[in-house]
Structure 1
Amino acid sequence: EVNAYGEELRNKHLAGMPPTEEEISKFDTLRENVVKNDAARGFLEARQTIDELLNTINHYLGMSIDLGRAPTPEEIEEARQRAMSAQTSCSCGGSCDKESCDCDGNCDHGHDHDHKDGGCGCGNH
């Protein structure tokens, strides 16, 4: 029911009709009931674990295909570090300055930055 109602609200939003407070409240109540249910919560946690495992396997296979061989542990760690770095950088890429900056002054993760010292001041680079 949560998934179906969530999809209904998503489709409504995509059609240009934002959900009402009442609809959002109904969805939150449905979702809260799922989270309170031990069996449902366990299922969701197991599904998340499986998704993470599949992502790891797909990443490893992709690297193997790209390299033409199995990646070394060092190459896997380097790719993991690059992926983590990409997730924590600003939308401007971390190299903006006052003169040439066309970013909006906000990181993707909500931190303002002020271009002090020639770069973003968010500290996430």
Structure 2
Amino acid sequence: KTRPVLDLRPLPKVMADPEQFPKVVTNLLLNANEAIQKKGSLIRVSTSEEGGWAVLSVADDGCGISSAFLERDLFRPFRTTKKQGMGIGLFHSKKIVEAHRGRIEVESEEGKGTVFRVMLPVGDGVREDG
């Protein structure tokens, strides 16, 4: 039922902890898979370079996230919309990404799906613009 779509382009080197960073990717993929179990069938994973950032996008056409939850609770610990789970996956993912001087962005629309974008600075991780 699930249709994975990969658009993986070569990326420049980034500074990423080989033990911690895969946890971020795994968490985003698990969340996308859970979202499409309720509604949808597509998970798209893509990579790109944008303005000095290496970008990993994980998108799904699942149930989406309410704007209220996005604004207030998405990255807070012990907040979840799921029947099972502790609500710490995205909290930890954000902390890991920020420890790499990166950022994580999300766009979502209820009933349409969600896109998470993990952005890490290319090269040695030192950026002029913060």
Q: TM-score by structure 1 length? A: 0.25
Choose 1 or 2 for highest CA Rg. Answer: 1
**TM-score, structure 2 length as denominator?**
0.24
- The structure showing larger relative contact order (alpha-carbon pairs under 8 Å, at least 6 residues apart) is 2
Q: Higher strand proportion, which one? A: 2
More helix by share: 1
